[in-house]
Amino acid sequence: MVGDRQFWVTRPYEWKRLLAAKMLCVLIFVNIPLLLAQSFLLTKAGFAPSSHLLGLLWLQLLWILILNLPVVTLATVTASIGQFILAVLCVLLYLIGGAALDSVIPSSGVAPDSLLDSVEPALVVATALAVIVWQYSRRRTGQSRFALIGVAAAVLSTLVLTPFRALIDRTYPQATPGRPLPIHLAFDLAKPTSRGDGFPE
């Protein structure tokens, strides 16, 4: 989608049909073979694929969201295979940096689930879909790249700016004289009497 020297630019193609043809190609040559392979493996293992249809469709949805959608999104904003590989390397560095930052930020791993846990993936998926449609309909590569970089920066900034300590303190408040713990555990100092076959229950 990047550039103006592709042969199809001079043809009266409708972007909706072009996008539908590309998506159909991905489904036929990627997702359907995976679905057939998973069904075959279930059959060989002695399970009926029809009874696991929802699980198979869920796996296909995960494949689409985790593999197909990022690849298609990067393919719409890169002009060549070299740019695509460079973009993939940038994404890998971003993920490594995010994981390293997550391990450095205290309490981020034990913070309770918040609204951000569901908003961030939805924002990333919505932005990827919007970039694909925007590229096919308008071919504004600069704006599409800016949108992707902006969402990546927003996701990273939420990791840095989220007050994890306050979330933990609100969900798991410390005991105070005015607010004791709801449960108190203590050892029983009385020792049980020994019997020949063990201790009483």
pLDDT in tens, 156-174: 888 888 777 777 777 777 7
Question: Could you give the CA distance from residue 153 to residue 198 in angstroms, rounded to a whole number?
Answer: 62
Answer yes or no: do 159 and 81 share one domain. yes
Question: Could you give the CA distance from residue 122 to residue 124 in angstroms, rounded to a whole number?
Answer: 5
Task: Categorize the per-residue pLDDT at 180 as very low, low, confident or very high, splitting at 50, 70 and 90.
Answer: confident
CB 4 within 8 A of CB 33: no
Task: Categorize the per-residue pLDDT at 12 as very low, low, confident or very high, splitting at 50, 70 and 90.
Answer: confident
Which residues form the domain of 18?
A: 13-69
Question: Could you give the CA distance from residue 98 to residue 90 in angstroms, rounded to a whole number?
Answer: 12
Question: Could you give the CA distance from residue 136 to residue 77 in angstroms, rounded to a whole number?
Answer: 10
pLDDT number for residue 143:
93
Give the gyration radius of the chain's Cα atoms: 26
What is the four-CA torsion angle of 12, 17, 29, 5, rounded to 10 degrees? 30
Task: Categorize the per-residue pLDDT at 76 as very low, low, confident or very high, splitting at 50, 70 and 90.
Answer: very high
Answer yes or no: do 53 and 111 share one domain. no
Assigned domain for 7 exists: no
Assigned domain for 86 exists: yes
